[in-house]
Amino acid sequence: MDKAKEKVQRFRAREQRILDAALELLLEHGEEKVTVEQIAEHVDIGKGTIYKHFISKTEIYMRLLMDYEKSLTERLKSAVAIAEQGDITVPARAYFESRMANPGKDRLFQRLEEKIITLNLASEMIAKLHDLRNSNAAALNRMFEKRMEQGLLKKVPPYFYYSTYWALVQGAVELYHSRSFADVIEDRAGLMAFIMDVGVHIGNLSHPRGSGEPPVKTPGPGID
Amino acid sequence: MDKAKEKVQRFRAREQRILDAALELLLEHGEEKVTVEQIAEHVDIGKGTIYKHFISKTEIYMRLLMDYEKSLTERLKSAVAIAEQGDITVPARAYFESRMANPGKDRLFQRLEEKIITLNLASEMIAKLHDLRNSNAAALNRMFEKRMEQGLLKKVPPYFYYSTYWALVQGAVELYHSRSFADVIEDRAGLMAFIMDVGVHIGNLSHPRGSGEPPVKTPGPGID
Amino acid sequence: MDKAKEKVQRFRAREQRILDAALELLLEHGEEKVTVEQIAEHVDIGKGTIYKHFISKTEIYMRLLMDYEKSLTERLKSAVAIAEQGDITVPARAYFESRMANPGKDRLFQRLEEKIITLNLASEMIAKLHDLRNSNAAALNRMFEKRMEQGLLKKVPPYFYYSTYWALVQGAVELYHSRSFADVIEDRAGLMAFIMDVGVHIGNLSHPRGSGEPPVKTPGPGID
Amino acid sequence: MDKAKEKVQRFRAREQRILDAALELLLEHGEEKVTVEQIAEHVDIGKGTIYKHFISKTEIYMRLLMDYEKSLTERLKSAVAIAEQGDITVPARAYFESRMANPGKDRLFQRLEEKIITLNLASEMIAKLHDLRNSNAAALNRMFEKRMEQGLLKKVPPYFYYSTYWALVQGAVELYHSRSFADVIEDRAGLMAFIMDVGVHIGNLSHPRGSGEPPVKTPGPGID
DNA sequence: TATGAATGAGGCTTCATTCAT
DNA sequence: AATGAATGAAGCCTCATTCAT
């Protein structure tokens, strides 16, 4: 049935429009200030219709969260694949860039996730989210272990590396938004490059980092 | 009059109890789930009494915020003083330890501050807060500049250092709470030490960091 | 769609019921003692429903105010039209009767308006209200000026006439409610007629007023 | 006991200060916006002390009301006495001037009285107030009756005269404050004089009112 | 199927009055 | 006698979700 297909398609399309609208409004107004009614208005549908697609407002947020995490994972996966064939800094850079591409968005999702966890809504979906997030750990671990065996990285449990790196990126995201730093930071791009440079050299043993070159343009050999 | 003094003292004591209760509830239930009524109940006083001490819920939060920031500043100040006479890693460690002493609290205040700023409540007090926070910047800047002149640190604007360091600590705080990392991180203390070690060596030029020794126990000469 | 129309109609009807209920309660209990909850109960709807129709309690009051003022203006307008063709006392009588038809209501709206102005709520709507109110001034002014030119009225700025007349009616409204006068006034209708007679002869130069005839039944030539 | 006397005197003095403060604040901020705490602060005493003098906030208002009414009555009484010996317009003028001397005050008391009556507080004191108010009626009645017998005033129940006059003054007070008239009224003093002139000629039979002379400066023979 | 009117729990704040000190 | 901290009822408004049309 073409008609049925078409219907399903339109249904999906609208679902996406709801998600897009929600994200847009969330970014514009912040987590606490977006109402279901606003989303419906923005998509130009009735409020009730939203509940044909999602059982609750939380579910919309969860979907947004999953979608974001998926795109992050996607990008990281391909970066890891590249790293295995050569430049080991690629995943680190990819990850950093993915999250810093839109720090506002990144932070929004942090807050959303936190909120959902705190209020203990949708614990099942949160579990899935975490599974997804940890799915790359194995590949990364192998990478770090190899490097450690080669004596290029300080020997610590491999998760130290990505945990620390995550923390740094997380901090960079927060820094990006901090209003108390806003006045101080004149060269934001330079600072972000500096931070990334710190990140890709974590645990690095052999070479003194960034020996002279400007870190941004030719940022050392990386996590090697 | 002893009586008058006593009265004032009791008043202050109650005020502190309100603040303590608010903090406790905030830590337990998160920012959005604490009501004025709950706080009052917890202190076992009437709802209206709260408003004898604070003009609004926001003011309670601001007080909490300021108190936390003050203790941070205090500690940092004395650490900077020590650093000027010798061990330059002291402020970094002090700052890290201060914030990581109770990461839940630290993160709570991040959220609180963000909320207050976003909703544009109490902009005056926020300004004060930021003043307080920036009050150490000059001392830190001088420290970094001296190090750079001595060729011990990579030459970048001095605020790059404390910004990056702030970001790392901020990330560590978030990491501490992340439920998706919770299962992975077996040696939390070790990880935190590792992160701090990364922190105190940011920009370090002369020595390869952590050359062999376990970073926690004898963590190299630090930011120098 | 008949259905859509019907829905809209029902919506409007409910809105009117809310307004009616508000007015009724206001008249019964006074401005300060009517709560949104009471109104909702009286209409037998939920508290929140009220806010689907009006953004605030003040808006309900404003609507009531405007509706009243409109009916007053309406009546006055047609009376002025008549007056231009002949009996010049018509507007004065119409105005008096309109306001005295339900003095409680009239006074309620005075209080409401005052309150809204004092608290500086809805200043925009208040401006509209005043526009509406002043819209008849020009017509009245012309009337008075013509009379003055004909030597029938004492020469004063024309707004003296309607201001004074307004004051008299306003006073009559208050008199109507005054509990301290309540016991004294035996012939209320007679008194009101007497007051109106005073009103329509304000500034009158040519004829001694009410020369013998009972003022109510054949109330002299009036403002002419 | 001199001491006891002194004490009583100080007590009375403070009572008056409370009343003065209440009135001042009431005039400044309006009926709804004055709290007991404000009054106490203004007198620089404790809130509880106020309740040593008055059993409730309402009682303060009642006292203010009575005092105002008494001063009005006082003035009217002496004016009536003068009128009996000669100029009959004196009471009318006195009354008008008393109330218009501070229209804000006058209106405040109207509102206060209304509020107290509506909320049915202090009905006993209200009765007393009304007694006081009506106490002059007899004297006034006699005056009007004499005039009517002399054929100088239209024959109506005598209370018609003072009721109407009260209404006019009442309206003038409201007019004075009306914000919608505020823009229109350029010559307020002139208008008030005009209204008073209308007032003193109510029911006047023999002479056409204000025959030529400017009403303010030599305002006709009055109510006769 | 889509709608949006209706709901009502729950949050923050105010203030007259009480009462222990 | 004076105080002022404490009280708590009461008011307004928001918004996720339901359900009749």
Q: Does position A167 have pLDDT exceeding 90, yes or no?
A: yes
Q: Does position C103 have pLDDT exceeding 50, yes or no?
A: yes
Averaged pLDDT, D194-205:
88
Q: How far is D68 from chain C (nearest CA, A)?
A: 15
Q: Which residue of B has its CA nearest to A181?
A: B163
pLDDT band at C188 (very low <50, low <70, confident <90, very high): very high
Q: Does position D119 have pLDDT exceeding 80, yes or no?
A: no
Residue A57 phi/psi, 5-degree rounding, is -60, -40
Q: Which residues from D are below 8 Å from C204, CB to CB?
A: 208-209
Least reliable range by pLDDT among B144-148, B206-210, D90-94, D193-197: B206-210
Task: Tell me the percentage of chain C whose pLDDT exceeds 70.
Answer: 90
Q: Which residues from D are below 8 Å from C167, CB to CB?
A: 168, 171-172, 174-175, 195
Q: Are A215 and B154 within 8 A, CB to CB?
A: yes
Predicted local distance difference test score (pLDDT) of residue C223: 32
If one counts every other C-beta atom within 10 angstroms of the C-beta of residue B116, the result is: 19
Q: Which residue of C has its CA nearest to D198?
A: C202
Asked whether residue A35, judged by its CB, lies under 7 Å from any atom of the DNA or RNA strand E, the reply is no
If one counts every other C-beta atom within 10 angstroms of the C-beta of residue B68, the result is: 21
Element (H, E) at D143: helix D137-149
d(CA C165, CA C91): 11
Predicted local distance difference test score (pLDDT) of residue A53: 93
The identity of residue A191, as a single letter, is L
> What residue has its CA nearest to the C1' of E7?
C46
Least reliable range by pLDDT among B175-179, C18-22, C52-56, D33-37: B175-179
pLDDT tens profile C161-176: 989 999 999 999 999 8
Least reliable range by pLDDT among B12-26, B196-210, D43-57: B196-210
Q: Is the dihedral of CA C155, C157, C158, C163 positive or negative?
A: negative
Cα C83–C87–C90 angle (5° rounding)? 65
Closest CA to D41 of D22, D59, D65: D22
Q: Which residues from C are below 8 Å from D179, CB to CB?
A: 117, 126, 130
* Residue from D130, D148, D168, D177 whose CB has the most chain C CBs within 10 Å, to mutate: D168
Q: Looking at chain C, which subunits does it touch, using at least 3 CB pairs closer than 8 Å as the criterion?
A: D
Tokens, residue D191? 């208008």
Asked whether residue B45, judged by its CB, lies under 7 Å from any atom of the DNA or RNA strand F, the reply is yes
pLDDT band at D206 (very low <50, low <70, confident <90, very high): low
Q: How far is A164 from chain B (nearest CA, A)?
A: 6
Q: How far is the CA of C52 from the C1' of E6 (A)?
A: 9
> What residue has its CA nearest to the C1' of E19?
D48
Indicate the residue of A154, A187, A209 with minimum beta-carbon distance to B210: A154
Q: How far is the CA of C40 from the C1' of F11 (A)?
A: 14
Q: Does position A121 have pLDDT exceeding 60, yes or no?
A: yes
CA distances, C67 to each of B94, B143, C132 (Å): 69, 72, 11
Contact B192, A192 (CB under 8 A): no
Contact A171, B167 (CB under 8 A): yes
Asked whether residue A52, judged by its CB, lies under 7 Å from any atom of the DNA or RNA strand E, the reply is yes
CA distances, D67 to each of A168, B91, D70 (Å): 75, 71, 5
Residue D7 phi/psi, 5-degree rounding, is -60, -50
> What residue has its CA nearest to the C1' of F21?
C3
Asked whether residue D46, judged by its CB, lies under 7 Å from any atom of the DNA or RNA strand F, the reply is yes
Burial of residue C168, with CB atoms counted within 10 A of its CB: 0-12 exposed, 13-18 middle, 19 or more buried: buried
Indicate the residue of D154, D166, D194 with minimum beta-carbon distance to C175: D166
Compute the half-sphere exposure of residue B51: CA atoms within 13 Å on the CB side of its CA.
6
Nucleotide whose C1' lies closest to the alpha carbon of residue D34: E15
Cα B84–B90–B92 angle (5° rounding)? 115
Q: Are C185 and D203 within 8 A, CB to CB?
A: no
Contact B94, B76 (CB under 8 A): yes
Q: How far is D79 from chain C (nearest CA, A)?
A: 21
Q: Are C130 and D32 within 8 A, CB to CB?
A: no
Top-confidence range, C70-84, C200-214, D116-130, D200-214: C70-84
d(CA A172, CA A188): 11
Asked whether residue B35, judged by its CB, lies under 7 Å from any atom of the DNA or RNA strand E, the reply is yes
Q: How far is the CA of A57 from the C1' of F3 (A)?
A: 52
> What residue has its CA nearest to the C1' of E14?
B48
Q: Are B184 and A134 within 8 A, CB to CB?
A: yes
Q: Which residue of A has its CA nearest to B199?
A: A198
Chains D/C: 3 or more C-beta pairs closer than 8 A?
Answer: yes
Predicted local distance difference test score (pLDDT) of residue D38: 94
pLDDT band at C224 (very low <50, low <70, confident <90, very high): very low
d(CA A92, CA A222): 9
DSSP symbols for chain B: -HHHHHHHHHHHHHHHHHHHHHHHHHHHH-GGG--HHHHHHHHTS-HHHHHHH-SSHHHHHHHHHHHHHHHHHHHHHHHHHHHHHS-TTHHHHHHHHHHHHSHHHHHHHHHHHHHHHHTT--HHHHHHHHHHHHTTHHHHHHHHHHHHHTTSB--S-THHHHHHHHHHHHHHHHHHH-HHHHTT-S-HHHHHHHHHHHHHTTTB-SSPTT-SS-TTTS--STT-
pLDDT tens profile B208-222: 444 333 433 333 333
Q: How far is the CA of B86 from the C1' of F7 (A)?
A: 57
Tokens, residue B130? 């930021």
* Residue from B65, B73, B95, B168 whose CB has the most chain A CBs within 10 Å, to mutate: B168
Asked whether residue A155, judged by its CB, lies under 7 Å from any atom of the DNA or RNA strand E, the reply is no
Least reliable range by pLDDT among B77-91, B140-154, D147-161: B77-91
Predicted local distance difference test score (pLDDT) of residue C86: 67
Q: How far is the CA of B65 from the C1' of E11 (A)?
A: 22
pLDDT tens profile A184-193: 899 999 999 9
Contact D66, D132 (CB under 8 A): yes
- How large is the angle between the packed helices D57-85 and D103-118, nearest 10 degrees? 120
> What residue has its CA nearest to the C1' of F14?
C48
- Which residues in 60-89 of chain A line strand F, with CB less than 7 A from it? none
Q: Are B191 and A119 within 8 A, CB to CB?
A: no
Asked whether residue C212, judged by its CB, lies under 7 Å from any atom of the DNA or RNA strand F, the reply is no
Indicate the residue of A171, A208, A215 with minimum beta-carbon distance to B166: A171
Q: How far is the CA of D10 from the C1' of F6 (A)?
A: 29
Q: How far is D147 from chain C (nearest CA, A)?
A: 15
Higher pLDDT among residues C180 and D223, named by residue: C180
If one counts every other C-beta atom within 10 angstroms of the C-beta of residue B72, the result is: 19
Chains C/B: 3 or more C-beta pairs closer than 8 A?
Answer: no
